[in-house]
């Protein structure tokens, strides 16, 4: 009996269960669409995207969520379905979408620690959203947390049409972050990306700030045990110096995981001001 109960989860962990495009329903009753896009660099690899739309007539602005690192089952973008964030955003009048980074969820890997292959996967999803009739193509925003913030910040250096970017608990200067406070993160960087100057430049938005155009909201915990708060502060200083609209919120008692409700109090007015 135990084998029958846990076998499907084990097979999914090993990548042996094929998930088809279709719909799922979140805990709030929102119908979430799931699709698979060919990666722009390698059409044999798929990128998983999930989305839902408001119930009123569109088109609407869109927000794309990018998750952080996940252990064990690695649900990828489906994490935002499970915690209700896609449905919440749709209830506020946004097309709410989430992407699974390569190597997470049902996106083909391997992961490259927020590198060019992952960034290109996200850029492909943004292109997909902009072609949707229900989306206002000039009003697309990104939300990235942890690894997702690294990816979102780099994507923002490559897509000048983004309307807004929210970055939570991210690292923006690998040259100053590595070696990180945690050996496990160091091992992941070494395995997935390497430690060359080229690899670090490809993941450090701070050295590409002159390419960024969208207003940016940076969220960080002052007690972050994985990414020192100085990463957020130094990045914000560089953005401000380049004339980019940036808002920084440091949560004095938060560690790496800033409570969602605390984040939302900053994110909701920022997105409304940027996308409406």
pLDDT at position 58: 86
pLDDT at position 10: 34
The whole-number average pLDDT for the span 13-23 is 65
pLDDT at position 1: 29
Model confidence at 61: pLDDT above 90: yes
**Mean predicted lDDT score pLDDT of the chain:** 93
pLDDT at position 60: 98
Handedness of CA 161, 37, 114, 216 (dihedral sign): positive
21-275 CATH pick, 3.30.70.1150, 3.40.50.1820, 3.40.50.10320, 3.40.50.300: 3.40.50.1820
Model confidence at 93: pLDDT above 70: yes
> How open is the CA angle 171-173-175, to the nearest 5 degrees?
125
pLDDT at position 18: 63
> Starting at the edge strand that comes first in sequence, how are the strands of the sheet with 95-99 ordered?
22-25, 31-38, 46-52, 95-99, 60-66, 135-145, 164-168, 216-221, 246-251
Which pTM does this prediction carry?
Answer: 0.93
pLDDT at position 154: 99
Model confidence at 247: pLDDT above 80: yes
> Under 8 Å CB-to-CB from 246, ≥6 apart: which residues?
215, 216, 217, 218, 236, 239, 240
Question: Where does the pLDDT of residue 86 fall: very low under 50, low under 70, confident under 90, or very high at 90 and above?
Answer: very high
* Domain range annotation of the chain: 21-275
Question: Where does the pLDDT of residue 20 fall: very low under 50, low under 70, confident under 90, or very high at 90 and above?
Answer: confident
SS3 content of the chain, % helix, strand, coil (to 5): 40, 20, 40
pLDDT at position 2: 33
Query: How far apart, in whole angstroms, are the C-alpha atoms of residue 3 and residue 181?
Result: 39
The whole-number average pLDDT for the span 191-207 is 98
- The CA–CA distances, whole Å, from 58 to 86, 154, 165, 220, 267 equal 17, 29, 22, 33, 22
The whole-number average pLDDT for the span 247-265 is 98
Neighbour count for residue 58 (Cβ, 10 Å): 15
pLDDT tens digits, residue range 211-230? Answer: 999 999 999 999 999 999 99
Question: Where does the pLDDT of residue 152 fall: very low under 50, low under 70, confident under 90, or very high at 90 and above?
Answer: very high
């Amino acid at each position: 009996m135990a084998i029958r109960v846990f076998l499907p989860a084990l097979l999914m962990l090993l990548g042996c269960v094929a998930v088809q495009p279709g719909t799922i329903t979140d805990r709030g009753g929102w119908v979430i669409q799931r699709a698979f896009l060919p990666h722009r660099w390698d059409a044999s690899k798929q990128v998983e995207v999930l989305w839902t739309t408001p119930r009123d007539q569109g088109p609407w602005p869109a927000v794309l969520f990018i998750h952080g690192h996940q252990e064990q089952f690695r649900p990828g973008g489906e994490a935002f379905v499970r915690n209700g964030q896609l449905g919440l955003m749709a209830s506020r009048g946004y097309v709410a979408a989430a992407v699974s980074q390569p190597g997470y969820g049902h996106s083909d890997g391997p992961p490259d620690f927020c590198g060019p292959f992952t960034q290109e996967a996200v850029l492909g999803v943004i292109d997909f959203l902009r072609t949707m009739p229900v989306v206002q193509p000039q009003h697309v925003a990104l939300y990235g947390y942890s690894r997702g913030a690294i990816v979102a910040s780099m994507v923002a250096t490559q897509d000048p049409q983004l309307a807004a970017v929210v970055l939570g608990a991210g690292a923006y200067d690998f040259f100053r972050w590595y070696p990180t406070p945690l050996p496990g993160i160091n091992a992941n960087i070494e395995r997935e990306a390497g430690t060359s100057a080229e690899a670090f430049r490809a993941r450090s938005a701070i050295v590409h700030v002159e390419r960024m155009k969208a207003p940016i909201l940076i969220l960080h915990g002052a007690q972050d045990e994985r990414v020192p708060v100085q990463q957020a502060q130094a990045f914000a200083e560089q953005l401000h110096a380049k004339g980019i609209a940036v808002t920084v919120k440091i949560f004095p008692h938060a560690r790496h995981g800033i409570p969602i409700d605390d984040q939302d109090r900053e994110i909701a007015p920022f997105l409304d001001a940027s996308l409406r």
